[in-house]
Structure 1
Amino acid sequence: MTTANDLLDLLVLTQIDDTEFNGVSETVGSPVVFGGQVLAQAINAASRTITNKRVLHSMHSYFLEAGDLKWPITYNVNLVRDGGSFSVRRVTAHQKNKTIFILSASFHKPEIGYNHQIVMKSGLNQPETLLSWTDILKQYGDFLPKSLKAFFEIERPIEFKPTTFVSPAEKKDLPPFYDVWFKLKGDVGDLDLATKQQILTYVSDYNILVSALNPHASVAHWGNTQTASLDHSMWYFRDFDFSDWLLFSIESPNTSGARGFARGNIFTRDGKLIASVAQEGLMRPKNIKNE
């Protein structure tokens, strides 16, 4: 995948019947299916069973098994409830007769109410002044762990620009924070809100565990640490568009027991908060044996 249109083709599932859908996979550089893809495809399945114009406002999910890139994924949607204001869907993803993922999503009818939000960080470097992942690969490729270098070499439909970059060769611990700008590649035109939410969900599984690894960067990196998404939750607040850069501002309150916890907020460049994300992930040092 190289453009946003390629990503859209991946996220829109083939409908089998009213509540069953099939999806295919594309690698992002890892040997298993990318968690963001499964999240977004599951949201696509759930959204297509909503016929009352309600809007996705939250989802909660668990990754149960690694997905196989070679096999299609079947998504089954359970219409849990259609109440007066909210509709709830439960999605189960299967591959080769095995459940690999479960998700619950809630949709809300549009209503007018109170409004406030936290303020985006000030003083951050703007994306025009920063190195992209492609630029980092060109300048620091020889110093990156082999697995991270291979990850950066994969073509993808999103451009990422971290607000700061510290070469892994420096081997120093960093604060448990990570801020990264992102933007879709190519012209996506006018998208409906449901489609934009699915793309945003896909992107939200990128970068989030970096903040949990940062405090251990003197000894840990992606090459010597086994990582995997364990769960993922997301809350969607406001409409937005992909015509400009968006900021994913992430922090990690805790890492312990070979798990890292991170949470983040996604803002438009002018500071509008559009979503919040939380995830716990496996962060297992490969050189430590657990009995």
Structure 2
Amino acid sequence: MTDDTWTPPSPETLAAALVDLLDVEEIDTDLYRGARNPGGKGRVFGGQVIAQALQAAQRSTEGKAAHSIHAYFMRAGDEQHPIVFRVVRDFEGKSFATRRVVALQKGQPILNLAASFQVEEDGLHHHDAMPADIPPPENLTSESELRREQAHEIPEKFREMFLRRRSPIDIRPLYPRSWFTPVKRDPVNYSWFRCVAPIGDDPATHRAVLAYASDMALMATSMMPHGVNWMTPGMQSASLDHALWLHEPVRADEWLLYATDSPWAGHGRGMNRGSIYTRDGRLVASVAQEGLIRMRSEHR
């Protein structure tokens, strides 16, 4: 039985909580602490670790904006403990700067991240066109609503947790997924997303929220041709690395189109690529990620 008296948090509350979560605390020079996700259980969402590491790198840099990050996951983060981020200032030039960040829990590294920063400048310009004929987000169903529609498929002991999950990112997929009966389809997907409420005008915060959201709806693309997902019995999945190139200034609280595809999978790994566009068709970010998609032998 679910608790009918429970009131879901407002979009404004969710958005403010996400900004607070990604707002790392400086505890010493080039040393930062990332907050725990209130109510979080089990493994820390990879996008959170990436975004907090990016925020730590951004706090150590002035006059330059992040344009690329490359991260490797080494261990799963534990929601029971805060994450400490150690920043190394490898290079500080007139136009570019580079930073390395190690994310640690209980003395063990869980993620390495390298970030490059650049002073804003003009230059030659071109970009891929946004995919055509994608319905606007207003015509698509949010994932939170899709969860409610599939509630009858969920075992009762998991139903309350599944339905109570509220994301600070509103995702509206063109091809709604089924968590329990996935079907085989081409490894191409499109989703609109944005933070559920305005988050102010700080560009660094918007870059961090975009980094957070870029880890959503990506790795699943490489599983689509095989008719499986992370809830399939025997499926072991995890992000192995994550690369994000930030081409243009972006607002993460306005609708963005995430176009993803998977050109290859094999040897227990799946490769995923993503392009992120504004509603008016500007390519603002590119993403690449390889993930573990291992079907344990006892379930084959």
Same fold by TM (over 0.5)?
yes
- TM-score norm. by structure 1 comes to 0.91
Q: Which residue of 2 aligns with 1:178?
A: 189
Q: Does 1:223 align with 2:232?
A: yes
Taking the aligned partners of 2:51 and 2:250, their CA distance within structure 1 comes to 17
What are the superposed Cα offsets for residues 60-117 of structure 1, whole Å, 9 maximum, x if unpaired? 0100011111111110000000123110000011111111110000001111100110
- AA paired with 2:114? S
Q: Secondary structure at the match of 1:238?
A: coil
Correspondence for 1:109 among 109, 113, 119 = 119
Q: Which residue of 1 aligns with 2:42?
A: 31
The two structures, once aligned, show a CA RMSD in angstroms of 2.3
Taking the aligned partners of 2:262 and 2:160, their CA distance within structure 1 comes to 24
Q: Which residue of 1 aligns with 2:3?
A: none
Q: Secondary structure at the match of 1:57?
A: strand
Taking the aligned partners of 2:28 and 2:286, their CA distance within structure 1 comes to 32
- AA paired with 1:25? R
Taking the aligned partners of 1:59 and 1:68, their CA distance within structure 2 comes to 23
Q: Does 1:257 align with 2:267?
A: yes
Counterpart contact for 1:212–1:262, Cα < 8 Å: yes
Q: Does 1:3 align with 2:14?
A: yes
- AA paired with 1:4? A
Worse overlay, 235-244 or 68-77: 235-244
Q: Which residue of 2 aligns with 1:199?
A: 209
Question: Structure 1 residues 19 and 269, CA, compared in 2 at 3 Å: closer, same or farther?
Answer: same
Query: CA offset at residue 244 of structure 1?
Result: 2.7
Unaligned segments of structure 2, at least 5 residues: 1-8
Query: CA offset at residue 17 of structure 1?
Result: 1.4
Taking the aligned partners of 1:149 and 1:175, their CA distance within structure 2 comes to 32
Q: Which residue of 2 aligns with 1:47?
A: 58
- TM-score norm. by structure 2 comes to 0.88
- AA paired with 2:15? A
Taking the aligned partners of 1:101 and 1:152, their CA distance within structure 2 comes to 30
Q: Which residue of 2 aligns with 1:208?
A: 218
Query: CA offset at residue 241 of structure 1?
Result: 2.0
Question: Structure 1 residues 151 and 138, CA, compared in 2 at 3 Å: closer, same or farther?
Answer: closer
* Aligned pairs, number: 287
Unaligned segments of structure 1, at least 5 residues: none
Question: Structure 1 residues 41 and 179, CA, compared in 2 at 3 Å: closer, same or farther?
Answer: same
Query: CA offset at residue 141 of structure 1?
Result: 2.5
What are the superposed Cα offsets for residues 237-289 of structure 1, whole Å, 9 maximum, x if unpaired? 00122453111110001111111110101111111111001000111113548
